[in-house]
Amino acid sequence: MEMSRRDFVRTTALTGTAAAALSAAARRNRRRTDFGDPSGAETVRELYTLRSVPPSEPEDILLAMQRDLTRAMHRPVEQRHWGMAIDRRKCVGCHACTIGCVAENKLPPGVVYRPVTTEDTGRFPDLRTEFTPRPCMQCRNPSCVPVCPVHATWQRPDGITTMDYDKCIGCRHCLTACPYGARTSDFGHAYNAGTAPGVGADATRPLQGQATSWEAQPSHEYGKAWSRAKHGSPIGNARKCHFCLHRLEVGQLPVCVTSCIGRATYFGDLNDSTALITRLVRRESAKQLLPHHGNDPSVYYIS
């Protein structure tokens, strides 16, 4: 018994229909650029920077970056491209940025947006210790975005790769697709797991129970209140650095920038040729991490 001509035609018809339907869906998917991000005039923010302090030269770089941020927010979102530059010569490896980020975003154990790696290089006696803070690279060609099966992560018009915690199914495919290990999964751990909330203060509870309640408070990533109570998102989701988008919206620099005691982290709009970061990246021939992957990160390193 073999396939008759009629069987073959029907098989071809079934296969062709399925292939055409999948191709059409893929084509429609490829065209999708609208993820509901606001754009245009509604994204312009009339912010200001310390009106009582006139610009001066030289100036604390935090103030300079604050002025750059204010200026960038006067333009619509699609005209900005946020970037970061990290001067490894100035980084002292204090991890203040890591901890500041944990506190700002109320990150649970096992979730980290900005670890600082330490590497010893050279041979004795010419030894050298290098610190490398590693935020999300906010790649221009992010390899984490196309693998998401449900469009829970995408690139905003200002270059920041963002997440929809309400949509993420927790498959962790994006974690495997990031060469920088910049995404971590929230497995629902808590620093104060096992400690009873509401117990009165005593010698064994020096924070008087406040630490526990701190973890129960919502984080405000992406400008929303995310409560981890009752297994709510972002528990079970992939999480990542977003350059403190919620702070940028109100004219505040990312917390890793303001908490850096060595002033080693620079931040600003890479589309603004007069911004401190843009001038620095150009002048110091700043480099990207693992450039051979072609992700084209928006984070630069100065060594």
Partner 1 sequence: MKRKSSMQDGQEHGGARRKMQAGVLLWVVLALVGAIGLYQRMRTGHDLADYGSYVPWGLWVALYFHGVGIAAGVFLAGGLGYLFGAPSVATRAELRATIVLSLAALLPGLLGVGLDLGRMERGALIYLSPNIGSVMTLNSWLYTLFMLTAVLAWLLSWRKESSWLRPLVAFGAVVCGVFAVGSGLFFAAVHVKPLWHSGIWPVITLVSALSSGAAILLLARCIGAVSSDDAVQDAGCLLARRVLQGGLLVYLGLAAVKWMVAHGYDMAPVPTADPLAVPVLSAAWFQLLLGCFLPLLLLSARRAWGWIAASLLVAAGLFGGRLDLLLKGQPPAELPALPAAFQHARLVFSYRPTVMEWQVGALLLAMGIAIYVGGQMINKTIAARLATAGDGVPR
Binding residues for partner 1 (CB under 8 A): 1-4, 6-8, 10-11, 13-15, 18, 22, 25-26, 28-30, 98, 109-112, 115-119, 132, 134, 143, 146-152, 167-173, 175-181, 183-189, 231, 233, 235-238, 290, 293-295
Q: Exposed, middle or buried, 292 (CB in 10 Å: 0-12/13-18/19+)?
A: exposed
Is the Cβ of residue 108 or residue 268 nearer to partner 1 in the bound state?
A: 108
Least Å distance, CB 196 to partner 1, is 19
Is the Cβ of residue 16 or residue 218 nearer to partner 1 in the bound state?
A: 16
Measured torsion, CA atoms of residues 64, 219, 246, 275, in degrees rounded to the nearest 10: 30
From residue 13, alpha-carbon distances to 26, 27, 53 in Å are: 20, 21, 73
Is the Cβ of residue 3 or residue 53 nearer to partner 1 in the bound state?
A: 3
Least Å distance, CB 118 to partner 1, is 6
Least Å distance, CB 280 to partner 1, is 24
Is the Cβ of residue 250 or residue 261 nearer to partner 1 in the bound state?
A: 261
Q: Are the C-beta atoms of residues 115 and 78 closer than 8 Å to each other?
A: no
Measured torsion, CA atoms of residues 101, 107, 110, 111, in degrees rounded to the nearest 10: -60
Is the Cβ of residue 47 or residue 177 nearer to partner 1 in the bound state?
A: 177
Of the chain, the end-to-end C-alpha distance in Å amounts to 72
Least Å distance, CB 152 to partner 1, is 8
Is the Cβ of residue 112 or residue 299 nearer to partner 1 in the bound state?
A: 112
Least Å distance, CB 300 to partner 1, is 16
Is the Cβ of residue 209 or residue 262 nearer to partner 1 in the bound state?
A: 262
Cis? peptide before 133, omega within 30° of 0: no
Least Å distance, CB 49 to partner 1, is 33
Tokens 């006696």 appear where? Answer: 125
Least Å distance, CB 115 to partner 1, is 4
User: Listing from the earlier edge strand, what are the strands of the sheet with 265-269?
Assistant: 265-269, 82-87, 299-302
DSSP 69-100: HHHHHTS-GGG--EEEEEETTT-----HHHHH
Cα(29)–Cα(31) distance, rounded to whole angstroms?
5
From residue 187, alpha-carbon distances to 11, 30, 108 in Å are: 46, 32, 9
